Amino acid sequence: MESLFTAENTVLGIGNIILSDEGFGVRVVEYLEKNFTFPENVNLIDGGTLGVELTHFITGTQRLLIIDSIDGGAEAAKTFHLRGAEIKNHFAQKISAHEVGIQDVLTMLELSNKKIPHVELIGAQPFSLEAGVELTEPMAKLVPQFADKAVEILKSWGLEVRQ
Protein backbone atom coordinates (compact mmCIF):
# COMPACT_ATOMS: atom_id res chain seq x y z
CA MET A 1 0.00 0.00 0.00
CA GLU A 2 1.42 3.36 -1.02
CA SER A 3 1.64 6.20 1.48
CA LEU A 4 0.15 9.59 0.66
CA PHE A 5 2.95 11.23 2.67
CA THR A 6 6.61 10.46 3.13
CA ALA A 7 7.37 12.13 6.47
CA GLU A 8 9.49 10.13 8.87
CA ASN A 9 7.51 11.47 11.82
CA THR A 10 3.75 11.71 12.21
CA VAL A 11 1.58 13.31 14.86
CA LEU A 12 -1.92 11.85 14.59
CA GLY A 13 -4.89 13.31 16.43
CA ILE A 14 -7.85 10.96 16.53
CA GLY A 15 -11.35 11.30 17.89
CA ASN A 16 -14.94 12.13 17.11
CA ILE A 17 -15.37 15.91 17.32
CA ILE A 18 -19.18 15.67 17.66
CA LEU A 19 -18.92 13.79 20.97
CA SER A 20 -17.38 16.60 23.07
CA ASP A 21 -14.22 15.30 24.79
CA GLU A 22 -13.92 12.39 22.36
CA GLY A 23 -12.51 14.94 19.89
CA PHE A 24 -9.57 15.80 22.17
CA GLY A 25 -6.81 14.39 19.93
CA VAL A 26 -8.08 16.33 16.92
CA ARG A 27 -8.27 19.55 18.95
CA VAL A 28 -4.67 19.13 20.16
CA VAL A 29 -3.44 18.69 16.58
CA GLU A 30 -5.37 21.81 15.53
CA TYR A 31 -3.68 23.71 18.37
CA LEU A 32 -0.26 22.42 17.33
CA GLU A 33 -0.84 23.50 13.71
CA LYS A 34 -1.88 26.99 14.81
CA ASN A 35 0.85 27.61 17.40
CA PHE A 36 3.99 25.76 16.30
CA THR A 37 6.26 25.37 13.28
CA PHE A 38 7.47 21.88 12.41
CA PRO A 39 10.28 20.56 10.21
CA GLU A 40 9.36 19.22 6.76
CA ASN A 41 9.82 15.63 7.94
CA VAL A 42 6.86 15.92 10.34
CA ASN A 43 3.23 15.40 9.30
CA LEU A 44 0.39 16.56 11.54
CA ILE A 45 -2.77 14.64 10.72
CA ASP A 46 -6.35 15.15 11.84
CA GLY A 47 -7.32 11.48 11.77
CA GLY A 48 -10.81 12.10 13.10
CA THR A 49 -12.58 8.75 12.98
CA LEU A 50 -11.06 7.51 9.71
CA GLY A 51 -10.12 4.09 11.04
CA VAL A 52 -8.48 1.72 8.55
CA GLU A 53 -8.24 4.52 5.96
CA LEU A 54 -5.48 6.00 8.15
CA THR A 55 -3.16 3.34 6.72
CA HIS A 56 -2.70 5.54 3.63
CA PHE A 57 -1.53 8.44 5.79
CA ILE A 58 0.91 6.70 8.13
CA THR A 59 2.50 3.96 6.01
CA GLY A 60 6.21 4.64 5.85
CA THR A 61 6.45 6.82 8.92
CA GLN A 62 9.21 5.80 11.33
CA ARG A 63 7.85 7.47 14.47
CA LEU A 64 4.18 7.94 15.24
CA LEU A 65 2.72 10.00 18.07
CA ILE A 66 -1.01 9.38 18.58
CA ILE A 67 -3.04 11.90 20.60
CA ASP A 68 -6.45 10.80 21.83
CA SER A 69 -8.96 10.89 24.63
CA ILE A 70 -8.35 7.67 26.51
CA ASP A 71 -11.04 5.89 28.48
CA GLY A 72 -8.84 4.05 30.92
CA GLY A 73 -11.58 3.77 33.54
CA ALA A 74 -9.80 6.46 35.56
CA GLU A 75 -10.80 9.81 37.00
CA ALA A 76 -11.49 12.51 34.43
CA ALA A 77 -8.34 14.38 33.33
CA LYS A 78 -5.99 11.52 34.27
CA THR A 79 -3.19 11.58 31.73
CA PHE A 80 -1.71 8.63 29.91
CA HIS A 81 1.55 8.13 28.01
CA LEU A 82 1.72 4.69 26.44
CA ARG A 83 4.49 3.11 24.38
CA GLY A 84 4.93 -0.09 22.39
CA ALA A 85 3.06 -3.07 23.84
CA GLU A 86 1.14 -0.82 26.24
CA ILE A 87 -0.62 0.68 23.22
CA LYS A 88 -1.69 -2.72 21.90
CA ASN A 89 -2.97 -3.66 25.35
CA HIS A 90 -4.97 -0.43 25.55
CA PHE A 91 -6.51 -0.80 22.10
CA ALA A 92 -7.32 -4.45 22.77
CA GLN A 93 -10.11 -3.14 25.02
CA LYS A 94 -11.77 -1.56 21.93
CA ILE A 95 -13.18 1.43 23.78
CA SER A 96 -14.56 3.26 20.73
CA ALA A 97 -14.90 2.87 16.97
CA HIS A 98 -11.83 4.96 16.08
CA GLU A 99 -9.72 3.05 18.59
CA VAL A 100 -10.69 -0.19 16.88
CA GLY A 101 -9.63 1.46 13.63
CA ILE A 102 -6.18 2.55 14.82
CA GLN A 103 -5.57 -0.88 16.34
CA ASP A 104 -6.45 -2.43 12.99
CA VAL A 105 -4.17 0.01 11.16
CA LEU A 106 -1.19 -0.79 13.39
CA THR A 107 -1.85 -4.52 13.04
CA MET A 108 -2.22 -4.29 9.24
CA LEU A 109 1.09 -2.46 8.96
CA GLU A 110 2.78 -5.05 11.15
CA LEU A 111 1.38 -7.97 9.14
CA SER A 112 2.46 -6.37 5.85
CA ASN A 113 6.04 -5.88 7.10
CA LYS A 114 5.53 -2.09 7.26
CA LYS A 115 5.39 -1.86 11.04
CA ILE A 116 6.08 1.61 12.43
CA PRO A 117 9.24 1.17 14.51
CA HIS A 118 8.34 3.69 17.22
CA VAL A 119 4.79 4.44 18.40
CA GLU A 120 3.74 6.52 21.38
CA LEU A 121 0.29 7.58 22.54
CA ILE A 122 -0.63 10.43 24.85
CA GLY A 123 -4.10 11.23 26.05
CA ALA A 124 -6.41 12.10 28.89
CA GLN A 125 -9.46 10.50 30.46
CA PRO A 126 -12.48 12.41 29.08
CA PHE A 127 -14.96 14.27 31.26
CA SER A 128 -17.87 13.77 28.85
CA LEU A 129 -18.69 11.84 25.69
CA GLU A 130 -22.08 13.49 25.26
CA ALA A 131 -23.08 14.96 21.90
CA GLY A 132 -21.51 18.37 21.36
CA VAL A 133 -18.87 19.92 19.11
CA GLU A 134 -16.92 21.67 21.89
CA LEU A 135 -14.63 20.10 24.47
CA THR A 136 -15.79 20.47 28.05
CA GLU A 137 -14.09 23.40 29.77
CA PRO A 138 -11.74 21.27 31.90
CA MET A 139 -10.74 19.14 28.88
CA ALA A 140 -10.15 22.27 26.78
CA LYS A 141 -7.73 23.49 29.47
CA LEU A 142 -5.64 20.35 28.85
CA VAL A 143 -5.11 21.10 25.14
CA PRO A 144 -2.11 23.47 25.56
CA GLN A 145 -0.53 21.07 28.08
CA PHE A 146 -0.81 18.17 25.65
CA ALA A 147 0.52 20.31 22.81
CA ASP A 148 3.55 21.05 24.98
CA LYS A 149 3.90 17.34 25.81
CA ALA A 150 3.74 16.47 22.09
CA VAL A 151 6.45 19.06 21.35
CA GLU A 152 8.56 17.63 24.19
CA ILE A 153 8.26 14.14 22.67
CA LEU A 154 9.15 15.40 19.19
CA LYS A 155 12.19 17.19 20.59
CA SER A 156 13.22 13.95 22.32
CA TRP A 157 13.16 12.44 18.82
CA GLY A 158 15.75 15.06 17.79
CA LEU A 159 13.31 17.32 15.95
CA GLU A 160 13.32 21.09 16.08
CA VAL A 161 9.89 22.51 16.80
CA ARG A 162 9.38 26.25 17.22
CA GLN A 163 6.51 28.16 18.77
- Residue 43 Cα to chain centre, angstroms: 12
**pTM score, two decimals?**
0.91
Residue 3 · residue 59 · CB < 8 Å: yes
Phi, psi of 74 (to 5 degrees): -105, 180
What pLDDT was estimated at residue 92? Answer: 65
pLDDT at 1: 42
Q: pLDDT per position in the chain (163 positions), as tens? A: 445 556 799 999 999 999 999 999 999 999 999 999 999 999 999 998 888 888 888 999 999 999 999 887 889 999 999 998 888 777 665 555 545 567 788 888 999 999 999 999 999 999 999 999 999 999 999 999 999 999 999 999 999 999 9
Please, what is the angle between helix 24-35 and helix 143-156, to 10°?
A: 70
Shortest CA distance to 2 belongs to which of 117, 120, 119, 112?
112
Question: 53-91: buried (b, 16+ CB within 10 Å) or exposed (e) per residue?
Answer: ebbebbbbbebbbbbbbbbbeeeeeeebebeeeebeebb
pLDDT at 65: 97
Res 103: pLDDT: 79
Residue 5: predicted pLDDT: 55
